[in-house]
Amino acid sequence: MAVTARLEPDALDPAAELARFQRGRTADGAIVSFTGLVRAEGGGVEALVLDAYPALTERSLDDIGQAVAAAAAAPDAGPITDVLIVHRTGTIPAGDPVVFVAVAAPHRRAAFLAADQLMDRLKTEAALWKSELTPSGPRRIEPTRRDHADRARWSD
């Protein structure tokens, strides 16, 4: 089981990441992926700015991947083979991808659950600091009550 987690300071290409992740797999029957995009909020958000503390941030992504791959997400879900997390940093315009996760597993239940859990954990445990660039200036963004509730769905 391998976790690959990396920061991407330039453009993130989900289609290319997925194609690379899929290549050569013969033992896995399932790949589930998720792409997070920057929402424009009707023009209220021009871009996201994501700041990283590189070694801390990369380790936090890897820790999340390892925790999700090891977790028994559901009793009969089965194992995970590989996890990929790619997270943008820097200034990301509305409409662009900011995060991509993919999970490969022999069977789909584990892959669906793991992708869901990866995103719920990334929201509060990825060592990144987020601001929105708006027409009236930058706005610091921190996790919402919903983000914390989503994280609490998954017992450790």
Partner 1 sequence: MTRVLFFGRPADALGAETTLEIPPSGLTVAEVRATLAARSPEHAAALCAPDIRAAVNVRTVADDAHVPADAEVAFFSPFSGG
What does the per-residue mask of binding to partner 1 show for 52-91, with x meaning CB under 8 A?
Answer: -x-xx--xx--------------------------x----
Site string for partner 1, 113-142 (x = CB under 8 A): ------x--xxxxxxxxx---------xxx
Decide if residue 50 touches partner 1 (CB under 8 A).
yes
The two beta strands, 97-105 and 82-88, are antiparallel
Question: Minimal distance in Å, beta carbon 120 to partner 1?
Answer: 8
Total of residues contacting partner 1 (CB under 8 A): 25
Torsion-angle region of 116 (φ positive above 0: left; ψ -120 to 50: alpha; else: beta): alpha
Bridge partner residues of 139 (DSSP): 132
Give the integer Cα–Cα distance in Å for 56 and 17: 23
Cα separation of 81 and 30, whole Å? 10
Should residue 37 be labelled a site residue for partner 1 when binding is judged by CB under 8 A?
Answer: no
Which residue, 86 or 111, has its beta carbon nearer to partner 1?
Answer: 86
* Helices of type H across the chain: 14-22, 54-70, 108-125, 145-152
Beginning with the edge strand found earlier in the chain, give each strand of the sheet holding 82-88 in spatial order. 2-8, 82-88, 97-105, 30-37
Q: Of 23 and 146, which CB lies nearer to partner 1 in the complex structure?
A: 146
What does the binding site for partner 1 look like in residue numbers (CB under 8 A)?
Answer: 36, 50-51, 53, 55-56, 59-60, 87, 98-99, 119, 122-130, 140-143
